[in-house]
Structure 1
């Protein structure tokens, strides 16, 4: 059964902020430019809860015996990301976000998503799901085990809850906020050729099989979740510093295999499925597919066309 909202028939404006025909992240332009690019002094540190790597098995171990829990993973100027466990049979309240999309990576268990205008989606390990702004949604855990999801939303956002004219409450509550009954005419955003409701990573993406390289799942003016898949390769030497970003940080969740990371000031370390790796703004970082098989990382940052700063002798590539 589809979930619909009162007055949705008023119409929605489909704004293709990033036309699919122009998506070409994997194609490097022939020309190389040079710049004096600023790096922070001192280096940007990992400020809690951010850290070089959150290991999923350690997170699960820390919450052993608990069915419902919330573990903050990322907090910075752009994103808030949490690993969240929801008990079997538990449901969330219907809600939506005023001006931002929200998206998830499912680490374990099964979640049934009820999204406005869509048939229910049952997502299991490896699935990616997203909801554009002003679309009402709720979710529930199905099956006999808790569901665990990585939830990503823009920083310092507060959800809205659907209401009706003359609604007498009680009003929702949130720390530092007071909820008031309001009306609005700005319609919900729509899905498009790139931003689709869900991706069944193991059941569809891997079985296609997807070509190696970049496969954006989320792409708008302030969000980018890029599924990057490739075959294991020898870990580059430390002289290969990778790249850095000027005004934003980046993080990844590993969806398949293993990925080696080299962060400025650190030794190489390996991330496994479900682990979350974080590179602070301005710090050199490098990711490489490890092992003998295929590996996939999901890169998350606020810039679909973000600038990558490489060493001048690197040819603008890793």
Structure 2
């Protein structure tokens, strides 16, 4: 039989331990930290979640797990480090500046958009829109993607010195444009609604453009978007089954240019350097004289993103400091 004094000591120790656990902050015991409001230079020791319809802004925060932005929610980051993956659900929005995501970034069906600026991520994916309303977008500016970019919906733009270490592939997007950027793998643009523009960029792998309704513009002197210079393609380039003007101007193609089924026939300027020659029907040669620059076709999306960012920041500030 245990001595009464020893038994009393054990009970006392259990009561003290339970009291100590009860006094711990909720975030330490939780598996997921919810973010509503503003957060600063702290470390979140688990996954982070932005609840549906809420806004969260983070500056200098370290997140050791994954991040989820639920339906209709907003996450605005500046100088943040995320160890895991980042997922944005329907009508959710991510605005990322100077941020590192070690894992992947995924915009789910019906997501509002992803804007990466001066950031580094793993692979980036935009899922098919399905029956969800609205139009998603993926804008990547001055950022590094250490994997693939795969978009199945929305408006897609790589710009301002962005780099993708693997392939870029899109299907059924509104448009897919690459300006002043580098793709270390293949580039595939299929079935875009208003076409594709590649300007001042380098694509090391094979480039394929097929079934695009609005045309394809490789280099300047095209009808789709303003463009200062042509690009470099490290392997063959194929443009096929394109409805709308296809123009190839001021490019270096270190392979063949293969053309088939384009209506009208693609225009290929004489100032291109195409090592493997041109295969397929060619229309009247595009003049080297520059046309008047078209209006930038992504201004509306820039404005759309700016409005959502501004509203998200205001909502987060109004909510006050987040309980991180």
- Tell me, yes or no, whether TM beats 0.5: no
Greater radius of gyration (CA): 2
TM range (shorter): under 0.3
| Bigger helix share | 2
Q: Give the structure-2-normalised TM-score.
A: 0.23
Q: Which fold has the larger relative contact order, with Cα–Cα distance below 8 Å and residues 6 or more apart in sequence?
A: 1
Q: Give the structure-1-normalised TM-score.
A: 0.24
